[in-house]
Every structure is written in structure tokens, then in C-alpha cells.
Amino acid sequence: MSGSQRVLVTGATGFVGSWLCRRLLADGAQVVALIRDWDPQSEFIRSGDVNRCSVVSGQLEDYAAVERAISSHEVDTVFHLGAQAIVGIALRSPLPTFESNIRGTYNLMEACRVHRDLVARVVVASSDKAYGESAVLPYTEDMPLQGCHPYDVSKSCTDLLAHTYAATYGLPVAIARCGNIYGGGDLNWSRIVPGTIRSVLEGKPPALRSDGTFTRDYLYVEDVVDAYLSLANQLEREDVRGQAFNFSPERQMSALALTRILLEVLGRADLEPIIQNNAQAEIRDQYLDASKAKRILGWTAKFTLRAGLERTVAWYRDFLGAAP
């Protein structure tokens, strides 16, 4: 991204959105942020990055707000990260999840279609959840999208809508499907990494919703930002436009194994995780094949799990005011 590019980020106040905006600003891009709620704890706001961006107040469910963000600021690049991103909330409240994740996506795609004279590239942040449950792993990009639970279905629909606008209208869209993303700034404490860190810094043993055997791949947030930028910077290529790409370190592990590594990084390997075994509407095993991203985009994860976790722990120590 260069200083001449005007970039819209939906979900700018979210965990990954905050990191993406920081990187875009560092690269000299002019950033427009679509913001629904003003959350003072968001890293995007806490850091002051919001003061270096143009802000459009509105929500994805409101087409007029989305269209205004693109038109009024003459946006040429869009990163669509805005979504209700928590599996448990989607289970309890499917309707607002569908409204933000599905209606929000087709509103954005339509606004980009209407302003094709402005919009040159669109990167849609999807998820491994879009694939749904599969007996065959790792997921590859040619596998069907068959989400079953509310959050998974919303991501399957996000992907399909993006593909529709690429295939039917020639919209320059690419889709990023990532595994479990972790890093500083994630304030969704129900997630395994921030939840474990906060519990340990409070002197409490971490609790696992599952039985500890559910497997995932875990991708550090700065690697995710690199993935999104790699897609945007190569979207003029025929073998990238309209395509979906998996992004993963290609190292899967159980929730319990991840927790134990995190306890080592925190210096509290003596704590024994509490197995709650009450997870609902969650897929047991999920991990991705990222060979397509490596072959076509030249992308690979730069951070080892331990290095990413060390940087993550340092962020939370600072945020929570915990002694090293």
C-alpha cells in the first residue's frame, strides 16, 4: 500500500483490523475506517491510530453508510474485516450475526460494484470455519463450503457472496481463509489465548471450554496482516483475482497443547488447566493447507508459535499492568 492509495477498512476497531490499520498507516496509505461502536479499549483507538484516519460512523447492515464510506472518500482498496466474530455469540444470537456477516457482506460487495470506477481491489477476510466440518483434513481451497452452525454458515455465505460478485460482475475480489488468529489486542476473553493469559496473570489456572483435544492451527496476527496485504498487492493477477487462499503456519495442535506452551511462556507451567468440556457448536478438528498461498503469492508465516506467543504475552502484560 502506498500513500496514493485510499483504503477502507471495515472492522477497524477489531483485533485484526487494529493491526491492519497500523500497518497501512506505516506504509503511507490514507485509511478510512467504518466504525459502528466507539470502544476506548480497542487498540485502534487506544493507540491514537484513529486520529490519523478518516472515520465514517455506521454499520455494515446499513447500505447507505457503506456506500457513503466508499464514494465520499473515493476509496480504491477495501479490506472487509467487519463481522460478528465470536462462535458463542453467534450460537446465542444468530440473527444479528447473520445481519452483520451476511447482509453486511452483500451490502459492501454491492457498494463496490456500484463504484467500480473507484474500487480496484477488495480483500475479504473469511475463516477456516467457512468449510464446516470435514472428515478429510487439512482443508484445501477446492473443498466445498458447508458450514452447519450459525457462525460457520455466516462465513460460508461471506465467501459465496464474494465469489458471486467476482464471477458475475468481475469485481476484483480475493478471499483470505485463516486459521485461529492470535496476538495482542484481542479482547474477546472467551478465546483461548487472551483468556489463558488473563487468567494466569491473575494467578488463576486457565479454563478450556472443550475437552482439550480439539485441534486447530494458530496464526500470529502480523502474519495475517502480511497475508491480507499480499493479496491486495497482487490482485491484478488473473490467478489471484476471484480466488480464495488459505493462510496457516501448517502446524496443528490441540487446545491443551497450546495452553501448556502458553503456560511455559508465562512462566507458570505449574498451573494445571481446568477442562470444562462444555463447548457447543464448535468443530472438533480444523486445519488448513497453505500450499496455494506459498506457490502463487509467495506467502509463508514468518513467526514461529513461540515467538508469536512471546510477543502476545508482552502486549497483555503491558495492557493489564502485570509485572514481567
Supply the DSSP string of 114-158, one letter for each residue: HTTTT--EEEEEEEGGGG---SS-SB-TTS-----SHHHHHHHHH
Burial class from Cβ neighbours inside 10 Å (0-12, 13-18, 19+) for residue 224 reads: buried
151 catalytic, yes or no? yes
Distance CA 269, CA 276 (A): 19
Q: 182 in helix, strand or coil?
A: strand
Distance CA 150, CA 92 (A): 9
Write down the catalytic residue from 151, 165, 182, 220: 151
Taking the mean position of all CA atoms in its chain, how far away is CA 158? 13
* 8 A C-beta contact, residue 289 and residue 248: yes
Distance CA 228, CA 224 (A): 6
Distance CA 271, CA 269 (A): 5
Which residues are catalytically annotated? 151
